[in-house]
């Protein structure tokens, strides 16, 4: 579910950035931000466990030239599960800066900053963070989900890599996910989308739970809401442990909501 959420969030963020670039002169400062929340099964690695997680991010576009954007950001996130595992119950905060470039139907970004999250092994609660990422999508705008009679084929590729968590601050993690859907029916602003996704994860410390191949096959209902998108679905998930050779599978159910904004802040 996490990889699907990442693709979903970056899809919406790209749409917001694209609209801002087309509609806002380069001389204006903007305040891009977003909020998302997701609830559902953790997956076959933690059967019978359900998790709710979300985040809010607020940035400032201080400099922009053509397709390039630079600015600071702050984000606050949370996660809580029904079993009470320590690694699923957290509320980190990150302060940093980003460099982004819009590339056709994709966006490339790099960032760095400080994440405030306690490392259980040392008790330290401030750690450097750095990351790079790339997302590209096709037929991924809201019209592909909510308008028209012909089938649409929304899909995306999402790649991210970096020092991503204060709970394992020296571990460089990498993720890549491909998702492809078919909007087979659309009515009243709703779209019925069977989809498949495949994702792979690696880390520098070779932890078994961070080295996995995850495949999903499912269906979801998607609807545009004011400033964002909501989706709910079910899927069958199969996970293969790359280091141990073990595999598990289980059904998952999920609900995701994303809302974004990008108002003009001031004349520069």
What pLDDT digit, counting tens, does each position of 149-190 carry? Answer: 677 888 899 999 999 999 999 999 999 999 999 998 888 888
- Judged against a pLDDT cut of 60, whether residue 87 lies above it is answered with yes
- Judged against a pLDDT cut of 60, whether residue 198 lies above it is answered with yes
CA distance 58 to 51: 24
pLDDT of residue 70: 96
CA distance 68 to 3: 25
Mean predicted lDDT score pLDDT of the chain: 86
- Residues of the domain holding 11: 2-267
Q: CA torsion, points 151, 14, 106, 213, in degrees to nearest 10?
A: -80
- Judged against a pLDDT cut of 90, whether residue 117 lies above it is answered with yes
pLDDT of residue 16: 42
- Judged against a pLDDT cut of 50, whether residue 60 lies above it is answered with yes
pLDDT of residue 22: 45
> Tens digits of per-residue pLDDT, 232-250?
999 999 999 999 999 999 9
pLDDT of residue 140: 55
What is the mean predicted confidence (pLDDT) over 219-226? Answer: 90
* Contact assessment for residue 60 and residue 261, using Cβ atoms and an 8 Å cutoff: no
pLDDT of residue 111: 97
What is the mean predicted confidence (pLDDT) over 198-207? Answer: 96
Q: Which residues contact 181 (CB under 8 A, 6 or more apart)?
A: 153, 154, 155, 193, 194, 195, 196, 220
- Judged against a pLDDT cut of 50, whether residue 9 lies above it is answered with no
What is the mean predicted confidence (pLDDT) over 188-200? Answer: 93
- Judged against a pLDDT cut of 90, whether residue 230 lies above it is answered with yes
CA distance 173 to 236: 25
Could you tell me the pTM of the whole model? Answer: 0.81
- Judged against a pLDDT cut of 80, whether residue 206 lies above it is answered with yes
How long a stretch of residues is the chain?
268
pLDDT of residue 195: 96
Confidence of residue 19 (pLDDT cuts 50, 70, 90): very low
pLDDT of residue 264: 84
pLDDT of residue 93: 97
Sign (positive or negative) of CA dihedral 34, 96, 126, 121: positive
Q: Specify the pairing of strand 93-103 against strand 68-81.
A: antiparallel
* Domain total of the chain: 1
Which carries the bigger pLDDT value, residue 75 or residue 262? 75
CA distance 257 to 9: 9
Q: Give me the DSSP letters along 186-229.
A: EETTEEEEEEEEEEEEEETT--GGGSEEEEEEEEEEEEEETTEE
pLDDT of residue 10: 45
Specify which residues 237 forms β-bridges with.
216, 250
What is the mean predicted confidence (pLDDT) over 202-218? Answer: 95
Tell me, what CATH number does 104's domain have? Answer: 2.40.160
Pair of tokens at residue 31: 């305040």
Confidence of residue 78 (pLDDT cuts 50, 70, 90): very high
What is the mean predicted confidence (pLDDT) over 32-61? Answer: 94
């Amino acid at each position: 579910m996490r990889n699907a959420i990442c693709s979903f969030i970056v899809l919406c963020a790209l749409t917001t950035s694209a609209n801002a670039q087309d509609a806002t002169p380069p001389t204006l400062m903007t305040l891009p931000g977003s909020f998302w929340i997701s609830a559902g099964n953790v997956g076959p690695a933690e059967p019978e466990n359900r998790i709710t997680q979300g985040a809010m991010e607020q940035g400032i576009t201080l400099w922009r030239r053509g397709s390039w954007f630079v600015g600071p950001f702050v984000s606050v996130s949370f996660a809580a599960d029904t079993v009470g595992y320590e690694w699923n119950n957290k509320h980190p905060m990150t302060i940093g800066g980003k460099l982004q470039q819009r590339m056709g139907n994709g966006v490339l970004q790099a960032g760095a900053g400080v994440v405030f999250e306690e490392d259980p092994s040392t008790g330290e609660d401030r750690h450097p963070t750095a990351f790079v990422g790339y997302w590209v999508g096709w037929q991924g705008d809201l019209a592909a989900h909510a308008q028209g009679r012909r089938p649409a084929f929304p899909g995306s590729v999402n790649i991210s890599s970096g020092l991503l968590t204060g709970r394992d601050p020296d571990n460089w993690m990498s993720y890549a996910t491909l998702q492809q859907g078919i909007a087979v029916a659309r009515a009243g602003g709703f779209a019925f989308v069977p989809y498949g996704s495949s994702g792979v994860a690696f880390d520098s410390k070779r932890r078994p739970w961070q080295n996995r191949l995850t495949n999903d096959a499912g269906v979801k209902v998607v609807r545009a809401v004011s400033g964002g998108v909501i989706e709910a679905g079910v899927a069958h998930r199969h996970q293969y442990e790359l280091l141990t050779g073990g595999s598990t599978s289980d059904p998952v159910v999920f609900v995701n909501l994303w809302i974004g904004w990008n108002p003009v802040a001031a004349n520069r």
